[in-house]
Amino acid sequence: MDNMDNDIVIIDGSYLEGGGQIVRTAVSLSAITQKPVRIINIRKKRKNRGLAHQHVACIKAVKKLCNAEVDGLYVSSETLEFYPNKVVSKDFKIDVETAGSVSLVIQTLLPLALVIDKPVNVIIKGGTNVKNAPPIDYVKNITLDILSKMGYCGNVDIIKRGFYPEGGGEVKLKIRPSTLKPVDLVELTNNKYVEGIVFNQNLDESISKRIRKSATDVLMKNGYMANIKIENTKGISTGVGIFLKCGTVGAQCLGERGLRSEMVGKIAVENLLSEIKTGMALDKYMGDQIIPFLYYSKSTVGVSEITNHTLTNIYVVERFLDVKFNISKYCKNNCNGYLIKCDENKQ
């Protein structure tokens, strides 16, 4: 490996928010570009520094597809070296081993569809609906829906729900060879229809009904029609929450001790209406997820907010690819957000 050091991409894992997003995007792009990467200062600013279980699972997932040689692949590691080999399309299983987010594992694997030569099926076990990560419903109904507009081919099936702290969730990800095309997703289509789901595992079904009623009432007061389904299941972990979608933007709220069911529904709706109000096609969460795909699709998108996650992803992508991202304020047609596009040959 030493003779490759001159060609290795160096990424500072403490950049801006210094989270796991840096690791996930870096190993994914390393596999795609076949450029080795060294990530230093991983999560240096966090209370529990270094790689957590879910980051290790993300790296192992990409490693399986490109038979990478990896140094520093263990929990709490603050430095990682990832040396990819040729991507080989094959099915596999990955277990986060905790309630760590399966959505973040999926987020790491999605770009690999751009270089595989046949469909890949992945079974992922862990947490499907946990704090500080996109719910699996968001990935299924927002992320993949938006990427499909660019020509992306992939889908997610939810087999079991998994909540903190036991986890136990299971999903099946299928990605197919994809070639992206340019699209303009700038303004949110005027839409007064909201669909969603209340998911409830092991709790009284009346809780689901109260959450749905609360959300529906707030939506109706604001002039929206609602179609919110209820999913009551049994499993090894217990949890409840709601996911809502309006066009290409989404919002959620997880239940927790001390938070009334009516507030769960209300908070989710308020989060959704806040995104809709900006008039931009992408919410702040999709704003960072879309960054690697903008380069490969040559697309332009409008986002409600530029988060540190977005800027972090831009930092990583620009380290791997000959590209410069341009962010500009967008205020037209009652919209108030930001335009993101990228240009090649930044030198």
Which positions make up the binding site?
Answer: 107, 285-289
Contact (Cβ atoms closer than 8 angstroms) between residue 317 and residue 298: no
Q: How far is CA 7 from CA 10, 36, 204, 280, 295, in A?
A: 9, 7, 57, 39, 22
Which segments of 154-307 does DSSP mark as H helices, in order? 205-221, 261-278, 284-289, 291-297
Per the rule left: phi > 0, alpha: psi between -120 and 50, beta: everything else, 19 is beta
Q: Is 162 exposed, middle or buried (0-12, 13-18, 19+ CB in 10 A)?
A: buried
Catalytic residue among 60, 212, 245, 309: 309
Residue 55 annotated in active site: no
Q: What single-letter amino acid sits at 114?
A: L
Q: Which residues pair with 100 in a beta bridge?
A: none
Residue 227, phi-psi category: left (phi > 0), alpha (psi -120 to 50), beta (remainder): beta
Farthest CA pair distance, the chain:
65
Parallel/antiparallel/unpaired status of strands 37-40 and 9-12: parallel
Using CA atoms, how far residue 222 sits from 20, 219, 274, 283, in Å, is 37, 5, 12, 19
Compute the chain's Rg from CA coordinates: 20
> Edge to edge, what strands does the sheet with 249-254 contain?
225-233, 193-201, 239-246, 249-254
> In a 3-state reduction of DSSP, which class is residue 203?
coil
Binding site residues for ATP, as ranges? 107, 285-289
Active site residues: 309
